[in-house]
Structure 1
Amino acid sequence: MRRQQFTGKTLAEAVATAARELGLSENVLDYTVLEKASKGFLGFGAKEARIEVAVDDLADKEVSAAPVSQPSAQDKAPEAPQAAGPVLTESPASDSADQDSLLTPENIGLEFLAPIFEALGVQPTVEIQEDDDQITFAMYGEEVGILIGRRGDTLNALQFLLSLAINRRLGGHKRVILDCEDYRARRAETLSSLAHRMAEKARKTGRRVTLDSMNAAERRLVHLALEKEPGVKAESYGEDPHRKIVIYPQN
């Protein structure tokens, strides 16, 4: 018994290729599905279907040597199944169901991030937490600082694209958080400390203090930190991405 592997863009194409190259009819092939086809995302991660076919050498010779003749009306009548061993088949509906089962926020997210990790030469561990409204991808590992960038610019850009990829594929709106080495928590602590220091400066000098431009999420953290600060008020002004917070002394 010899075995040979065949591939195709779909399972049906792989089976057809095997039948053509072996000179056998598809309905007598004894094959095992080694890998199912996957479309990937944006051209990345696509996989072909791969099967392994077990071919009996003697049966192969007999089939190849058999004369080819035009089938008669009797030949076209249904025949009893031949004892040619088990035939593994997979209907298009089953193939589609398998694809749908893989269409989850987790799988789409990992599929999106994989080529980015490869291009940057990093291999982080990704921990995922998900509930009904939000999914968080937390990355950890060596040399992953490149994924954060200056003041989180790279991380924020990747988070935006990751959210877009997931929600467009699923046709919904799920909040997506991308974190790296707990940067989000550390950044929140830094902004809170900065807000309190600048509020104290505004009170002491009696002059307004302008903070550097921030994205909407970071400005919200600053406003929350200043809600209970006495003697000051904070307002945002400008246009994104250069919108800033100004802290005013109330007197």
Structure 2
Amino acid sequence: MSHEKTTLEIIAPTVEEAVAKGLNQLGLREEEVEVEVLDAGSRGFLGLGSRQARIRLWIKEKESVQTAPLENEKKRPAKIERKPALSTNPTQPTEGTLDRDEKFVLATAEQITGELLQKMHLKARLKASMLPPQDENDQPTVMVEVQGEDLSILIGRRSETLNALQYITSLILSKEVGHWVPLIIDVQGYRARRERQLRVLARRSAEQVVHTGRKITLEPMPANERRVIHLELRDHPEVTTESVGEEPNRKVTIFLKKHHS
């Protein structure tokens, strides 16, 4: 009996597409193969200089392997764990409650952020997580935490650099996954400091609404910042809040509560 494993190397735009292509060629199901990622590929900087993914499929040795493709399973995407190869050493999220699509979004967000930081010649540790939506009209928000040394340059004056990095990352991420994904990038705990500023803004705006009787619409904010405003004024006796508009220009409006006589 031969003990050599049957292997197949596949090249495709992404790891997931390569696996699906290999399974289709072999006529096997995902549980009948092992996947080795030889090259995770790269989308390049702003979509330029991209490199295709390359994988090797190993057919598992076991009794009575069913090699005939099943029509209802033939095109089912493979369940693999994508591990972006980055010099920024990102930490993969470990939340057991995330579904496969969310894990892919988080891994992709880490990879994009890492590649942009590499282009800026910055080394950092990255960790992506998913923040729950503030209300039924919001989507979950991707949070990418950036830790390292000498990263103040990433924030910039009035957080202009951080906002630009966040905006570019959001555009690329949304293009990759096929729909808009709210995203926030935090550098060295800057988000916590920003939250304190937002709480002050919320209270002062509420005071102005009470004083003038006119509603106030704040500047566009990502979902996590809108959440801070909502929570700060949730128990306010005279004003209430709501998010209006569409991503990425969704805003918080603060207005007087309607008192029933």
- Normalising by structure 1, report the TM-score: 0.48
Bigger radius of gyration, 1 or 2? 1
- Normalising by structure 2, report the TM-score: 0.46
The structure where helix makes up a greater share of residues is: 1
